[in-house]
Structure 1
């Protein structure tokens, strides 16, 4: 044994004792991660290799299913908190270790057996050769965290696969299949997993024998990029324009990564790495990076909780959906596409046909994008079995009820199906507003019933709210969470209340919008401001997409549930000042949004057949009828008026135990309604402003606008105590 650590061992290869084998195998973990401790071990391991004068070659390998999934992201926020100078120093240290691997006096090869991402990908770029399992994937996803590859990725990858390919990989943050990696030259060979080490040994033996020139490989990675001025301009300037347009103004990392590659293109290794380190430290100091790393951590919390439920669940091998149509077809498609067979039942042939048409359309798009072959599409479509009867429901493990959003209709359908399924079958209602406890009242087995709220369109929206009613049992929740995960969704368990979590939080946001309309704000300007703030669409546009009839119905539910602060959402305002809301005015004038091509905007088909919004003078005139006074609002006023009620309702949901943690609340808003990811979520947004500053802002608005803007007592206590929703990570 040349070196033995907790995560890394270096031993002589069984086939040739002149070859060292460095194996990553982090003890006590299911995957290899590059924490600070592992990097220190790597330093010691490389020094041990350098000291062994009898070696002629080195193989890097992994004893786990993945090669290395990346750096240990749990350390990032504490590390970023130490400042840019510390980060640059740390990066230079890591560069020194990685350069030492690259500069070993003999050839080196990496055997890539599984995922090699971020820092893991940067490790394998240090060796002279790379052999990849046909099931493995590699990539540099750092820009998705608001940073860029900082351990040599921006320097080595462009020299290995060309600047244009490297820009695509790094700016896009993609995970790349073995075939794609081989095609661009990121790896030298792709083989079946069982032949991986054999292939790595073969390449190394050929390099040791002089058949393959490893020194030429090194020179190519360490010298400046061979691009003339015209090639540089064509490559970098074109890419910056395209990537900036795609990433948007709130995500600077992709464009910054291109600039780093460009600045380092004419430099040798050490100077190019210094440019990379400086840019990494600069990005790491931004709120965007802090929030996106926090988002990753929150996502891990949600996945871990989902996994815990899944362990307790009875598997769903056969599902059913009641109610075909667009929503039922979307649920059927999602289930079938991920491998769970599903019955799709309705009482009308035309509804069944509509559901099948929706599923076929979605599968056809997958074929167009070359994600599926026609044969695979046909096979997956057989997972959907349309039916007009309950004939096979005795063998179903879970039924999703997705009929019209009416408590009487839903109640009748649920009671009917309960009598026709097995005693252990789970019933789940895809309701967006109706109380699960209320729907369970006439069921004989309420413990087997819960909510399963999908967001539209089902195939795109990642969130599923799993709603626990007063009598819902743990087995029902666990099975529904497991099924949602099997469908490729992110389930978040919430407790029952009007609107559950996401709609309960969203409607105060619409309430803030209605109050702005009553005070003469221009809805198109409000949309533009909130879109610049980071929302995918402004509130008026979002209401058109949701449907004004749906918004009125949900607003009435919210007004009934929370009359003190949301009474104005139920048609005629009962709160401050009274009067009709803009939403109600649209609905009463049969302006339902995209579903009938007129709402706050009018809608025309674009070239792809999708609805395109255009200004409609009739809508502008209609808004004038709800205006009670005309006031001037700054951009900051509008943002505060919109965001404060949404954030406060998120706080209330956490305090009322509707949602289990700040992480789950923030992820639900990001996945469910498109809360700007770079802002981290509503509770992280409050933390960023400062709880005390947020309370003062809310109090100032509440004096004029009423209870919708009033902070809770607990939030006031947090402000006084200097507490936050996300305590700072411990610095190690």
Structure 2
């Protein structure tokens, strides 16, 4: 044994080859924490001291290679400032350069995921062999930073500048066959032949068949690009990527600039450019929030995994109601491999549901995500039916009929009599109390909410709603099924609107106040879209549907009359009464026309403006900051209340639900991170300044005032979020 640590070891094979194996103890994956980097430094020193070595293989004993740096360390590390971060990057550069400069050929054997720092380790060696199922990539831009351990320097010299720009700016994971085509991999083999293939490459390199020294020299030298090639590779790419990333995500464009600046430099000078840019981005609010979201997402996944382990098998399901929503649920279940019965009382409704599923599957075939054979297999997983005949075999049922408590209650009571004692019943309701729907059930412990968001195939969130009598078994099975469908389930407790809609409607309330006092709704939309929302509130209401919004608003007003009940007619009411329902009938706050792809395109409509003026009681001018405050304070305040009321368990789950469910701007981190960024005291002061005029919807809670007085935050220690809250 040449070296033995807690995360990696180095041993000779039967001959003169060193095998460095990553195998982090007590973990299912390998990651490059600061402790692991220290061990790697010691291991490389031990390799340098070893005599008569003729090669090095870097490998993994786990099912992945290395998934990257230890992101739980990021916030604490980044807080130490720019100079520290530059020095840290330079220290790793020195280590990786030492591996690259070893006096014999080197190869990395990639058996699974090699991401971020794991990819950068692999790029240091002369050759890379990948298992057929392995993937490689540099996803750092998704965290608001860029590859800081040589990825921006080595990848362009191995794969070409244009390919490196594409990989790094997109933050993509790339399959082995793609890596082979671009020269990032030198061979792709079955996983059981990986070590043999790596040793074979070293043997051929030592025999002179493969010129490892020339490869190494190319990685250490400037890129060979003339002025026109540089312009094509970088200037065009910067414009395209800036358009795709948008103004709130600087990392992708900054990464291209770093590659461009380093293109004409030697290895060490290019690495210094990379280190400086990494440190600069790491200190931005965008990076702080995106890293925080990653940690929050890990927490949500851990909680989901715990529920899944407690669940009985969910092998066959059913959906009641075969409209667009029912068809979407059937599609998602069948596409992800769980057979599903689709039940309705009308044959034409069943055909509509099947048509929806068929359309979505056909789009997957068009995009190359599915073969026609797989499409046929998925369709065969959907069985339409007009009766309850086969429901005795079903493990879990999703009720997705019209949003009416009497209808839902009747359907749930009916289906309960047709299923086994252990079958889980769920309701895809967006607002109706689960406790209310459970009142007439014989087995309310087997019942909970399963709220999908529309369109089902695109929206990642599923709210799993626990009623007073819902059992842990029902919640676990529902979470497990949502995960099988490829969704992110978040468990919340029952209340009007649950979590997401309860928080969304105060946002719409803020919008109603603005337009009543004279704000132009199109300007409000533009301000909020510039703030980072995918669509402004008027446009979002058109997508939701005015009939749905009026119904949900009534539920909210009944549940929270002090804050959400309103006097007089709102702009939303005016649209509904004039039968302007939004996209579903082609007119709402905007008029809708089909674009070239057949999708609805919004167009300004004078009739809509005239209707809104009829309910306006004033003609005030509002600054952009005024609009943002009036829209964001009630949304954030209601999120705080949901946390305080125990509707949602943690700040992380609350923020992830808003990002996944209604498109809260990810770079702002969620409603509670938004308050943290402003400072709880600053947010309370802002809310108080608005509550005097606009009422209790804007008023801070007593607990939030206490937090402000103690200078507390919702995220006191982000490095613990994913580890301790699950």
TM tier, smaller: over 0.9
**Pairs within 5 Å for 1:443-458:** 443-458=441-456
Q: Tell whether 2:175 aligns with 1:186.
A: no
Larger deviation: 682-691 or 209-218? 209-218
State the Cα deviation string for residues 647-677 of structure 1 (Å, max 9, x = none).
0000000000000000000000000000000
Q: Tell whether 2:638 aligns with 1:649.
A: yes
Q: Distance in 2 between matches of 1:486 and 1:221?
A: 43
Which residue of 2 is the match for residue 2 of structure 1? 2
Give the secondary-structure state (helix, strand or coil) at the position aligned to 1:352. Answer: helix
User: 682, 687, 693: which one pairs with 1:698?
Assistant: 687
Which residue of 2 is the match for residue 88 of structure 1? 86
Which residue of 2 is the match for residue 389 of structure 1? 387
Which residue of 1 is the match for residue 655 of structure 2? 666
Which residue of 1 is the match for residue 242 of structure 2? 244
Check the 8 A contact 2:12/2:18 in 1, yes or no. Answer: yes
Which residue of 2 is the match for residue 576 of structure 1? none
Measure how far apart 1:328 and its partner are: 0.4
Measure how far apart 1:729 and its partner are: 4.5
**Pairs within 5 Å for 1:486-525:** 486-525=484-523
> TM (normalized to structure 1)?
0.98
Q: Distance in 2 between matches of 1:286 and 1:728?
A: 18
Which residue of 2 is the match for residue 638 of structure 1? 627
Q: Distance in 2 between matches of 1:330 and 1:119?
A: 39
Which residue of 1 is the match for residue 418 of structure 2? 420
Structure 1 segments of 4+ aligned residues over 4 angstroms from their partners: none
Which residue of 2 is the match for residue 407 of structure 1? 405
Consecutive unaligned residues in structure 1, runs of 5 or more: 574-578
User: 538, 541, 544: which one pairs with 1:540?
Assistant: 538
Measure how far apart 1:728 and its partner are: 3.6
Which residue of 1 is the match for residue 30 of structure 2? 32
Give the secondary-structure state (helix, strand or coil) at the position aligned to 1:104. Answer: coil
**Pairs within 5 Å for 1:143-154:** 143-154=141-152
Q: Distance in 1 between matches of 2:238 and 2:611?
A: 43
Give the secondary-structure state (helix, strand or coil) at the position aligned to 1:613. Answer: strand
Check the 8 A contact 2:72/2:719 in 1, yes or no. Answer: no
**Pairs within 5 Å for 1:305-704:** 305-568=303-566, 573=567, 579-704=568-693
Q: Distance in 2 between matches of 1:13 and 1:118?
A: 28
Q: Distance in 1 between matches of 2:366 and 2:217?
A: 42
Check the 8 A contact 2:74/2:719 in 1, yes or no. Answer: no
Give the secondary-structure state (helix, strand or coil) at the position aligned to 2:124. Answer: coil
Q: Tell whether 2:165 aligns with 1:175.
A: no
Q: Tell whether 2:80 aligns with 1:97.
A: no
Q: Distance in 2 between matches of 1:233 and 1:269?
A: 21
State the Cα deviation string for residues 245-292 of structure 1 (Å, max 9, x = none).
000000000000000000000000000000000000000010000000
Which residue of 1 is the match for residue 131 of structure 2? 133
Q: Distance in 1 between matches of 2:666 and 2:719?
A: 24
Check the 8 A contact 2:557/2:564 in 1, yes or no. Answer: yes
Aligned length: 720
State the Cα deviation string for residues 545-596 of structure 1 (Å, max 9, x = none).
000000000000000000001002xxxx2xxxxx210000000000000000
Measure how far apart 1:54 and its partner are: 1.5
> TM (normalized to structure 2)?
0.99
Which residue of 1 is the match for residue 714 of structure 2? 725
Measure how far apart 1:13 and its partner are: 1.1
Q: Distance in 2 between matches of 1:360 and 1:419?
A: 31
Q: Distance in 2 between matches of 1:730 and 1:518?
A: 44
State the Cα deviation string for residues 444-466 of structure 1 (Å, max 9, x = none).
00000000000000000000000
Q: Distance in 1 between matches of 2:412 and 2:229?
A: 66
User: 107, 119, 143: which one pairs with 1:109?
Assistant: 107
State the Cα deviation string for residues 106-145 of structure 1 (Å, max 9, x = none).
0000000000000000000000000000000000000000
Q: Distance in 1 between matches of 2:51 and 2:199?
A: 20
State the Cα deviation string for residues 590-635 of structure 1 (Å, max 9, x = none).
0000000000000000000000000000000110001101111100
Q: Distance in 2 between matches of 1:476 and 1:434?
A: 19
Check the 8 A contact 2:557/2:565 in 1, yes or no. Answer: yes
Measure how far apart 1:152 and its partner are: 0.1
Which residue of 1 is the match for residue 724 of structure 2? none
Measure how far apart 1:696 and its partner are: 0.2
Measure how far apart 1:730 and its partner are: 6.6
Give the secondary-structure state (helix, strand or coil) at the position aligned to 2:686. Answer: helix
Which residue of 2 is the match for residue 230 of structure 1? 228
Q: Distance in 2 between matches of 1:72 and 1:421?
A: 47
Q: Cα RMSD between the aligned structures?
A: 0.7
